[in-house]
Amino acid sequence: MKKRFWIIAIILIVIVLFSAWKIFGPTVKQPEEKFFYIRTGWVYKDVISELKNKKIISNDTRFNFVARALKYKIIKPGKYEIKKGMSLFNLVRMLKNGRQTPVDLVIIKFRTKEEFAHRIGKEFETDSLQMIGFLNNNDTLKHYGLYTNTWYCAIIPDTYVYFWNSTPTKIFSKLYSASQKFWTEDKIQKLREKNLSPGQAYILASIIEEETNLNSDKRNIASVYLNRMAKNMPLQADPTIKFVMKDFGLKRIYDKYLQIQSPYNTYLNKGLPPGPICVPSVETLDAVINAPKTGYIYFVANSDLNGSSVFTSTYEEHIKYAKLYQQALNKQDSIRRATQNN
């Protein structure tokens, strides 16, 4: 009897230890993508089904036991990190408490709402079509004082932290709040001295962003455009033509392109276009805010083809440097063609 008692006791201990290991040991399998996603509207059985489908758990009986013990009833959508060596107990506790992994939305530059929406669709539960629908809805955007052509103005390049299941409204509202903080009273006062509103400064910065990658040239380019606006001259900004044509890789702007009818064509229309043509960098925004007073009216790419610009105050000087630039381009094209033919 005593021997049988110890055999039974040992068996029970083994069963208890095995069960404890299955619950508290590293029995949860980490998926390839390392994350488990619970979509909005899912119920408990959906969570179980997906956990098994992703092979994160192999047995729903033990999961159900732990879930009942921890009173896991309310399903919280989100992005959850499945760590290597995670226990079933910690998995259920994480899902119960809704301890999501934050999503970092890094914004550097976007040219179109489609490009922005595609990025949102990749990072969040909401898809690109939902984001496009939000950005195309003037009734929604007017709450922020924006419209479908000025929505860019709510975006200041930075890293923003969200939850994966954030809605388009939550995503946009956080961006808008950050943009409001960016425009401090000091910055707004500097813009007043230039007869610009923050929205106008943003539009101008978007043009300059597409003009050059050299931060050292941006302030002078801003001064050129401000001087043209003060003289009621058309901006004649090539990037706006590229925006109209939706061809941002154009190297040369031919005369036929300048006749395209569009409110964004700054050759045919005076003043700023009706909206930004991209999301400008903070450096470019600062270049507009702190643009110096100059006599520059013209600028053209340097014939050294080093990315810098030559700034002039007279049309005669401008034409001289423009010809040098065109000659440099023609020479570069000739060399490229000769190389391709050999």
Q: Which of 165, 90, 151 is nearest to 123 (CA)?
A: 165
pLDDT exceeding 70 applies to what percent of the chain?
92
Q: What is the pLDDT of residue 137?
A: 94
Residue 153 has pLDDT above 90, yes or no: yes
How many CA within 13 A on the CB side of residue 338?
A: 6
Give the predicted TM-score (pTM) of the model: 0.84
Helix or strand or coil: residue 72?
A: coil
Helix or strand or coil: residue 273?
A: coil
Q: What six digits make up the tokens of 199?
A: 């929205």
Q: 37 and 80 in contact (C-beta within 8 Å)?
A: yes
Q: What is the pLDDT of residue 17?
A: 45
Residue 301 has pLDDT above 60, yes or no: yes
Q: What is the pLDDT of residue 35?
A: 95
Q: What six digits make up the tokens of 311?
A: 């700034």
pLDDT in tens, 201-256: 999 999 999 999 899 999 999 999 999 999 999 999 999 999 998 888 777 777 88
Q: Which of 39, 37, 40 is nearest to 51 (CA)?
A: 37
Instruction: Over range 4-8, report the average pLDDT.
Output: 55
Q: What is the pLDDT of residue 4?
A: 60
Confidence of residue 58 (pLDDT cuts 50, 70, 90): confident
- Residue at 271: amino acid letter: G
Which value, in Å, is the radius of gyration of the alpha carbons in the chain? Answer: 30
Report d(CA 295, CA 293) in Å as an integer. 7
Residue 291 has pLDDT above 80, yes or no: yes
Residue 20 has pLDDT above 60, yes or no: no
Instruction: Over range 21-28, report the average pLDDT.
Output: 70
End-to-end CA distance of the chain: 98
Report d(CA 79, CA 82) in Å as an integer. 10
Residue 9 has pLDDT above 60, yes or no: no
Report d(CA 198, CA 153) in Å as an integer. 8
Phi, psi for residue 103 in degrees, rounded to 5: -105, 125
Q: What is the pLDDT of residue 227?
A: 96
pLDDT averaged over the chain?
89
Confidence of residue 177 (pLDDT cuts 50, 70, 90): very high
Domains in the chain, CATH or no CATH each: 22-97 (3.30.1490), 111-182 (no CATH), 194-296 (no CATH)
